[in-house]
Chain A
Amino acid sequence: MKNEEIIHADEDGFFTIALNVNGELGHMIVSRNETLVEALRHYGWKGTKKGCDTGDCGSCTVLFNNKPVLGCMMPAVAAHGGNITTIEGLGTVRNPHPIQQAFVEAGAVQCGFCIPGMILSTKALLDKNPEPSEADIRKALDGNLCRCTGYVTQVQAVRIAAKKVKAMKKQQEKLAAKELAAEKRKAARKTAKKAAKKNK
């Protein structure tokens, strides 16, 4: 077995793990008892909420290697070497992600405690299935409990989000195509200039 496949606790029972959180690679020092949600909150990603701590409510949802998982059921050390996306990795107050906008527009946010988890579950759903049916939406969100609403507005929010994400992707594709065309034109101009110089 390779040495990098086994990590050991220090004298005080702490482990040093490598994690990529929201695109930033870093190291965390975590205790053996610490769950992923506790470690993330300890290091400042407080958008991830700690609710029931037994895997029932889903408020601790984070994306682990692009799949929504329960942060309270996963020891922090078990996340070693993984890619984590928390709600902070999606958007900001000034520049919210389309899914966040959709939840606000639909009035799906009341106390807000469950929303980070719901948004991350929605993100994973829309990445896999850009046009989900109501059954798909309800199935994807069945692990995220909300005690304020009856889930109706949240299902609407996901539908709005699906449209917004689709529009955003189209725009991104258009932009990418424009950039590519501009680069091609630039390259063509360069080669034309070179050819003209040679002819002179």
Chain B
Amino acid sequence: MKNIKHYAFPSSVADAMSILMNRKYKAIIMAGGTLVGKTIPASAETYLDIRSLPIRDIKVKGGKLVIGAGVTFDEIDNSEVCKEWAEGMLSQVAAQCSSQLIRNMATLGGNIARPHSFNMFPVVLLGMNAEVMIETKDGKLLMPYADLLKESNLKPGENCIITEVLFPKKTKDMHFEFIKLAKTKSSWESYVILFFSNDKKNPKFVIGALSPRPFCAEEAEKAYAKNKPAEEIINKFQEAVSAKAKGYRAEAAVNLFKRYLGAE
């Protein structure tokens, strides 16, 4: 914060982008500010506060669930639309994030724009094959969130802004399993975060908190889709986990997966 010279409160995405892309400003985007508000880099000279942008809607559009990036965890927790989607999975996840005071401030966009290993929504978005709408200097771009995690040129908050998150139509009536293993219910730090979908054609086994970015146990997913025996699926899952982490947290992830498959 020591070099901040300007505070900007844009009311449109276009205005926010013009400041972000203007090198004169050296801007850093902030929404809730709960994750990085205390560690603003010394290079930043403009605090770009995007809480006034019109990206705070939760709606169903074209059969997809669309959540604005500026929506807070509390709003997701209490949204009737979210409570009806995927058996209320999104509301349940939002309710498990830290404390009520943080949930009142923290936004979905902030949680996925700078994916920290303990953030929960990157895991959920990967598991539900969600897409993100991004505002870049060349216009709007819709892409799978999984691609954004891999994409090196697009850095939300630095050269683009995530405006919306879109959940596929077919996830509306699907059943998912979300597990957060942490010291206390309101801990932000988790030992393991797991997200499972047992969709027969396209299963998803996503693991968070064990590595800087969440990852899928792809070989285990393939084995599950091919109806392989539980032991083989578990072995593949264990291989994926041990490639990223070792110790009790990795063990806990495998044990929880065994329980999920009913193999323990």
A positions within 8 Å CB-CB of B: 1-2, 5-9, 13, 15, 32-33, 54-55, 58, 61, 67-70, 73-75, 77-78, 80-81, 121, 139-144
Say yes or no: B104 contacts A67, CB within 8 Å.
Answer: yes
Chain A residues, CB < 8 A from B185: 142
- Interface positions of B from 3 to 20, Cβ below 8 Å from A: 4-11, 15, 18-19
B positions within 8 Å CB-CB of A: 1-2, 4-11, 15, 18-19, 30, 33-34, 37-38, 47, 49, 74, 95, 98-102, 104-105, 185-186
CA distance A3 to B27 in the complex (A): 17
B72 to chain A, nearest CB (A): 9
From known contacts A1-B19, A143-B101, infer whether A73 and B8 are also in contact, taking CB-CB under 8 Å: no
CA distance A62 to B186 in the complex (A): 20
Chain A residues, CB < 8 A from B102: 55, 70, 143
CB-contact partner of A54 in B4, B38, B49, B186, under 8 A: B38
Chain A residues, CB < 8 A from B5: 8-9, 13, 32
B185 to chain A, nearest CB (A): 8
Say yes or no: A5 contacts B38, CB within 8 Å.
Answer: no
Say yes or no: A6 contacts B100, CB within 8 Å.
Answer: no
From known contacts A5-B9, A77-B47, A143-B186, infer whether A61 and B101 are also in contact, taking CB-CB under 8 Å: yes
Say yes or no: A69 contacts B101, CB within 8 Å.
Answer: yes
CB-contact partner of B1 in A6, A32, A80, A121, under 8 A: A32
CA distance A95 to B8 in the complex (A): 40
A52 to chain B, nearest CB (A): 12
Say yes or no: B100 contacts A139, CB within 8 Å.
Answer: yes
From known contacts A73-B38, A81-B9, infer whether A144 and B2 are also in contact, taking CB-CB under 8 Å: no
From known contacts A1-B15, A142-B100, A143-B101, infer whether A75 and B186 are also in contact, taking CB-CB under 8 Å: no
Say yes or no: A9 contacts B6, CB within 8 Å.
Answer: yes
Say yes or no: B10 contacts A1, CB within 8 Å.
Answer: yes
Chain B residues, CB < 8 A from A140: 100
CB-contact partner of B9 in A55, A80, A139, A142, under 8 A: A80
Chain B residues, CB < 8 A from A73: 33-34, 37-38, 105
* Closest residue of B by beta carbon distance from A63: B104
CA distance A148 to B1 in the complex (A): 34
Say yes or no: A68 contacts B101, CB within 8 Å.
Answer: yes
Say yes or no: A5 contacts B34, CB within 8 Å.
Answer: no
Interchain residue pairs with CB less than 8 A apart (10): A1-B15, A5-B9, A7-B7, A68-B101, A69-B104, A73-B33, A73-B34, A139-B95, A140-B100, A143-B99
